[in-house]
Structure 1
Amino acid sequence: MQGVTVVDHPLVQHKLTIMRDKETSTASFRRLLREISLLLCYEVTRDLELTTRRIETPLQPIDSPTLEGKKLVFASVLRAGNGLLDGMLDLVPAARVAHVGMYRDHETLEAVEYFFKAPSNLGDRLVIVVDPMLATANSAIAAVDKLKERGATNLRFLCLLAAPEGVENFRKSHPDVPVYTASIDECLNEKGYIVPGLGDAGDRMYGTK
């Protein structure tokens, strides 16, 4: 699919298989989500711009690569997005963090916003929006809408699983925002869950129902 990168690294796919297993414990699921987020973060930041700065090694001075521009923003779509956020902050601890509180109305499947807090100057930063599941894409679309309203112009969306319907809806609404995912699954069921999927990521992460 145009504008979509599927991260098919063997370690990503192996960890994803364990996470899909309904017998995987809450503790293991949470640990694996943190681990897989490191690998996904590596891919979504692969083409960050670099500049050089002069440093001195123990042996001699050198012009060495360093990230160019203002610090990244990781925008977590609450609550499940925090599972990806934690691992990504391990990799990029200096990143700024935005929180976008969304829940899905189980009758209409529409996204309902309940919280928003973001750093200033979003227009000067790369904003990576994180949410484990791109199902109907309603929450993802609403989150990106809100970030764009606050000035974000350079965005990427990172998820663990996506449904073809969700990818199509998201790309239709935000064709300028590339999607990174570990898998595009078969479809959505009548309740708007990704099939075969892994269930509700938030429930499995926090041990709730």
Structure 2
Amino acid sequence: MSNVTVVDHPLIQHKLTIMRNKETSTAGFRRLLREIAHLLCYEVTRDLELEQATIETPIQEMQAPTLKGKKLVFASILRAGNGLLEGMLDLVPAARVAHIGIYRDHETLQPVEYYFKAPSSLDDRLIIVVDPMLATANSAIAAVDRLKRRGANNLRFLCLLAAPEGVEKFTAAHPDVPVFTAAIDDHLNEKGYIVPGLGDAGDRMYGTK
């Protein structure tokens, strides 16, 4: 677990508790996910490199810090990843966006890719892969595999909830990719859902079954 950061800020934990509640509405769930994305984004970008730029305030010229290097890439694993993506874009609106369409076959629990679109020149950008749930980790591993094949070499994975089995499998497959999450729950059930979890994040976001 040395490559895993659990972001245990009280506001995140409070909002996560409301999201777990099965009585929370679709609108409420979606709003809370966006709010938590803001808070998680602070942590996953905490060590971004800065450089000094010359600006003029209304008072005088000064040297002030600004982000260094090429723009970030947020890579959303569809469809649930968009719930985190929207909140992160609130904070970093200039970020580039990649979309990776992967669904989990409910019989085999294996990932099936149906869409991939990413910016060019991934090799010199920080890519933050987002998906609310790290359960079996099959989709997350497949998404990172796909990005690496496109040249990505500086990646981080951000999720809302993780299962111990998923964390272990993901970090074994991609030991070079740090994981950031709000909580690591107890275990996976026989259907590959996180327990106690919060159900299917995509269904709860969009009101589908």
Which interval holds the TM-score relative to the shorter structure?
A: over 0.9
**Structure 2 CA distance, aligned partners of 1:58 and 1:113?**
52
Aligned to 1:101: 101
**Structure 2 CA distance, aligned partners of 1:14 and 1:91?**
21
Normalising by structure 1, we get a TM-score of 1.00
Task: Give matches, 1:71-150, under 5 Å.
Answer: 71-150=71-150
Cα drift, residue 60 of structure 1 = 1.1
In the TM superposition, what whole-angstrom CA distance separates every residue of 1:49-68 from its partner, at most 9, and x where no partner exists? 00010011111111000000
Whichever residue aligns with residue 138 of structure 1, its letter is N
SS at match of 1:182: strand
Cα drift, residue 2 of structure 1 = 1.1
Structure 2: runs of 5+ lacking an equivalent:
none
In the TM superposition, what whole-angstrom CA distance separates every residue of 1:67-100 from its partner, at most 9, and x where no partner exists? 0000000000000000000000000000000000
SS at match of 2:11: helix
Count matched residues: 209
The list of structure 1 runs, each at least 4 consecutive aligned residues, that deviate by more than 2 angstroms after superposition, is none
- Residues 1:39 and 2:52 are matched in the alignment: no
Aligned to 2:17: 17
**Structure 2 CA distance, aligned partners of 1:30 and 1:8?**
20
SS at match of 1:2: coil
Structure 1: runs of 5+ lacking an equivalent:
none
Aligned to 1:185: 185
SS at match of 2:30: helix
Aligned to 1:160: 160
The CA RMSD over aligned residues, in Å, is 0.3
**Structure 2 CA distance, aligned partners of 1:111 and 1:101?**
10
SS at match of 1:8: coil
**Structure 2 CA distance, aligned partners of 1:2 and 1:142?**
22
**Structure 2 CA distance, aligned partners of 1:35 and 1:63?**
32
